Structure 1
Amino acid sequence: MTKRNLKAEDLYQLKSVADPRLSSNGRDLVYVQTHISEEKDEYVSNLFYINVEDKNTPQQWTYGEHRNHSPRWSPAQDELAFVSNRSGKNQIFVMKASGGEAKQVTTCTNGASNPVWSPDGKKIAFNVSLAEDEAIETKDKKEEKKLVPLEVDKMKYKSDASGFWDGKYSQIAIVDLETGETNLITEGKVDYHLQGWSPDGKHLAVSADLSENLDFSFVSDVFLLELETKKLEKITTGSGYFGSVTWSPNGRYIGLIGHEREFENATLSKVWVYDTVQKELNCLTAESDLLIGDFAIGDFQQGAVTPGILWTEDNESFYFLASDHGNTAVYYGSLKGEMYPALLESQHVYGLTTGGALNRAVVAISKPTDPGELYLLDVPTGKLEALTSVNKSYKDEVKLADVEEIEFKAKDGWDLHGWMMKPANFEEGKKYPLILEIHGGPHAMYANTYFQEFQMLAAEGYAVLFINPRGSHGYGQKFVDAVRGDYGGRDYADLMEAVDYALETFDFIDENRLGVTGGSYGGFMTNWIVGHTNRFKAAVTQRSISNWISFYGVSDIGYYFNAWQIKSELEDVETMWKHSPLAYVGNVETPLLILHSEKDYRCPIEQAEQLFIALKHRKKETKFVRFPESNHELSRSGKPSLRIARLNYILNWFKEYIK
Structure 2
Amino acid sequence: MKLPLHLILGLWLTTNLFVWSQNGLPLESLKSYPFPNELTAAATGTRIAWAINQEGKRNIYVAEGPIFQAKRLTNYLQDDGQELSSVSLSADGKWVVYVRGGDHGSNWNDDLPVNPTFMPTPPKVQIWSIPFEGGNPRLLGDGETPVISPKSDKIAFSKGGQIYTAPVDGSQTATLLFSARGSNSSPVWSPDGSRLAFQSNRTDHSFIGVFTDSQNPIIWVDPQYKRDSSPRWSPDGKKLVFVRTNGLGGKPDSVLSRRLVPWHLMTTDLSTGETKTLWKSPNRLNGSLPTTHGGTNLHWAANRIVFLSYHDGWPHLYSLPEQGGSPLLLTSGNFMCEHIKLSSDGKSLVFSANAGNTPQDIDRRHVVKVSVDKADMQILTPGESLEWSPVVLGDAQSVAYISATAQRPPLVSIIAFKGGSSQNIALELIPVNFPTNDLVIPKQVTFKTPDGFTIHCQLFEKAGGAAKKPAIVYIHGGPPRQMLLGWHYSDYYANAYAMNQYLASKGFVVLSVNYRLGIGYGYEFHQPKNAGSNGASEYIDIKAAGEWLAKQPQIDPKRIGVYGGSYGGFLTALALGHDSKLFAAGVDVHGVHDRTIERTRNLMLPDQYEKAPDAARALEVAWKSSPIAYVNTWKSPVLFIHGDDDRNVRFSQTTDLVRRLEDQGTPIETMVIVDDTHHFMLHANQVKANKAIATFFEKKL
* TM bucket, shorter chain: 0.7 to 0.9
Match of 2:289 in 1: 240
| Equivalent residues of 2:289, 2:296 under 8 A apart | no
1:561-580 map, 5 Å = 569=615, 572-580=618-626
Q: Deviations over 1:542-593 (max 9, x none)?
A: 22232222252599xxx9xxxxxxx974553322233222222211121122
- Among 522, 535, 547, the alignment partner of 1:476 is 522
1:515-554 map, 5 Å = 515-533=561-579, 534-550=581-597, 552=599
| Equivalent residues of 1:131, 1:167 under 8 A apart | yes
Match of 2:696 in 1: 653
Greater Cα shift, 230-239 or 461-470: 230-239
Please tell me the residue identity of whatever aligns with 1:318.
L
| Equivalent residues of 1:348, 1:367 under 8 A apart | yes
Please tell me the residue identity of whatever aligns with 2:157.
N
| Equivalent residues of 1:269, 1:291 under 8 A apart | yes
Please tell me the residue identity of whatever aligns with 1:111.
G
- Among 145, 148, 170, the alignment partner of 1:113 is 145
> Are 1:61 and 2:112 counterparts?
no
Shift in alpha-carbon separation, 1:186–1:372, aligned structure 2, 3 A: closer
Q: Return the offset for 1:222.
A: 6.8
Q: Return the offset for 1:447.
A: 0.8
Match of 2:444 in 1: 405
Q: Return the offset for 1:12.
A: 6.4
Please tell me the residue identity of whatever aligns with 1:615.
L
Match of 2:369 in 1: 332
Match of 1:282 in 2: 327
3-state DSSP class of the match of 1:435? Answer: strand
In 1, Cα distance between the equivalents of 2:385 and 2:329?
Answer: 25
3-state DSSP class of the match of 2:297? Answer: strand
Please tell me the residue identity of whatever aligns with 1:29.
I
In 1, Cα distance between the equivalents of 2:695 and 2:445?
Answer: 28
C-alpha RMSD of matched pairs (Å): 4.4
| Equivalent residues of 1:123, 1:177 under 8 A apart | no
Q: Deviations over 1:34-84 (max 9, x none)?
A: 2345xxxxx422222143x335x3222344457665444444x44234125
Q: Deviations over 1:389-420 (max 9, x none)?
A: 12252435884333122233445554332121
- Among 643, 653, 658, the alignment partner of 1:597 is 643
Please tell me the residue identity of whatever aligns with 2:94.
E
Q: Return the offset for 1:347.
A: 4.0
- Among 446, 458, 461, the alignment partner of 2:483 is 446
> Are 1:127 and 2:157 counterparts?
yes
In 2, Cα distance between the equivalents of 1:613 and 1:72?
Answer: 46
In 1, Cα distance between the equivalents of 2:273 and 2:36?
Answer: 38
| Equivalent residues of 1:45, 1:69 under 8 A apart | no
| Equivalent residues of 1:123, 1:175 under 8 A apart | no
Match of 2:633 in 1: 587
Please tell me the residue identity of whatever aligns with 1:257.
L
Shift in alpha-carbon separation, 1:574–1:29, aligned structure 2, 3 A: closer
1:359-438 map, 5 Å = 360-378=398-416, 382-389=420-427, 390-396=429-435, 399-411=438-450, 414-423=453-462, 426-428=463-465, 430-438=467-475
| Equivalent residues of 1:197, 1:204 under 8 A apart | yes
3-state DSSP class of the match of 2:415? Answer: strand
Greater Cα shift, 366-375 or 491-500: 491-500
In 2, Cα distance between the equivalents of 1:346 and 1:447?
Answer: 11
Greater Cα shift, 649-658 or 235-244: 235-244
| Equivalent residues of 2:471, 2:549 under 8 A apart | no
In 2, Cα distance between the equivalents of 1:7 and 1:214?
Answer: 58
Match of 1:163 in 2: none
In 1, Cα distance between the equivalents of 2:188 and 2:43?
Answer: 25
3-state DSSP class of the match of 2:464? Answer: coil
3-state DSSP class of the match of 1:336? Answer: coil
Q: Deviations over 1:502-561 (max 9, x none)?
A: 444452x22232111122332222222222321222111222232222252599xxx9xx
Shift in alpha-carbon separation, 1:286–1:176, aligned structure 2, 3 A: closer
Match of 2:353 in 1: 322
In 1, Cα distance between the equivalents of 2:676 and 2:691?
Answer: 17
Shift in alpha-carbon separation, 1:287–1:348, aligned structure 2, 3 A: closer
Taking structure 1 as the reference length, the TM-score comes to 0.74
3-state DSSP class of the match of 1:244? Answer: coil
Please tell me the residue identity of whatever aligns with 2:364.
N
| Equivalent residues of 1:94, 1:103 under 8 A apart | yes
Match of 1:310 in 2: 342
In 1, Cα distance between the equivalents of 2:518 and 2:39?
Answer: 28
Please tell me the residue identity of whatever aligns with 1:514.
I
Q: Return the offset for 1:434.
A: 0.9
Q: Return the offset for 1:597.
A: 3.2
> Are 1:257 and 2:257 counterparts?
no
- Among 360, 363, 380, the alignment partner of 1:342 is 380
| Equivalent residues of 2:51, 2:58 under 8 A apart | no
In 1, Cα distance between the equivalents of 2:401 and 2:621?
Answer: 46
| Equivalent residues of 2:25, 2:435 under 8 A apart | no
In 2, Cα distance between the equivalents of 1:513 and 1:388?
Answer: 42
Gaps of 5+ in 2: 1-12, 102-122, 167-171, 176-180, 209-228, 253-259, 282-287, 356-361, 488-496, 607-612
Shift in alpha-carbon separation, 1:377–1:456, aligned structure 2, 3 A: same
In 1, Cα distance between the equivalents of 2:383 and 2:570?
Answer: 32
Please tell me the residue identity of whatever aligns with 1:30.
A
| Equivalent residues of 1:515, 1:537 under 8 A apart | yes
Please tell me the residue identity of whatever aligns with 2:39.
P
Match of 1:562 in 2: none
In 2, Cα distance between the equivalents of 1:140 and 1:321?
Answer: 36
Match of 1:155 in 2: none
Q: Deviations over 1:237-289 (max 9, x none)?
A: 597354434443x4x223333558x9xxxx8533233432x245736269754
| Equivalent residues of 1:124, 1:176 under 8 A apart | no
- Among 84, 91, 114, the alignment partner of 2:127 is 91
In 1, Cα distance between the equivalents of 2:627 and 2:333?
Answer: 36
Match of 1:46 in 2: 60
In 2, Cα distance between the equivalents of 1:499 and 1:482?
Answer: 21
Please tell me the residue identity of whatever aligns with 2:482.
M
3-state DSSP class of the match of 1:419? Answer: strand
Shift in alpha-carbon separation, 1:44–1:586, aligned structure 2, 3 A: same
> Are 1:501 and 2:548 counterparts?
yes
3-state DSSP class of the match of 2:327? Answer: strand
Shift in alpha-carbon separation, 1:214–1:654, aligned structure 2, 3 A: farther
Shift in alpha-carbon separation, 1:397–1:328, aligned structure 2, 3 A: closer
In 2, Cα distance between the equivalents of 1:225 and 1:475?
Answer: 36
Match of 1:149 in 2: none
3-state DSSP class of the match of 2:591? Answer: coil
Match of 2:667 in 1: 621
Q: Return the offset for 1:653.
A: 1.6
Match of 1:291 in 2: 336
3-state DSSP class of the match of 1:514? Answer: strand
3-state DSSP class of the match of 1:596? Answer: strand
Shift in alpha-carbon separation, 1:122–1:570, aligned structure 2, 3 A: same
1:210-229 map, 5 Å = 211=247
Gaps of 5+ in 1: 38-42, 142-165, 294-305, 560-566
- Among 462, 466, 474, the alignment partner of 2:512 is 466
3-state DSSP class of the match of 1:616? Answer: helix
Shift in alpha-carbon separation, 1:103–1:476, aligned structure 2, 3 A: same
| Equivalent residues of 2:319, 2:330 under 8 A apart | no
Shift in alpha-carbon separation, 1:29–1:122, aligned structure 2, 3 A: closer
In 2, Cα distance between the equivalents of 1:129 and 1:332?
Answer: 36
Q: Return the offset for 1:33.
A: 2.2
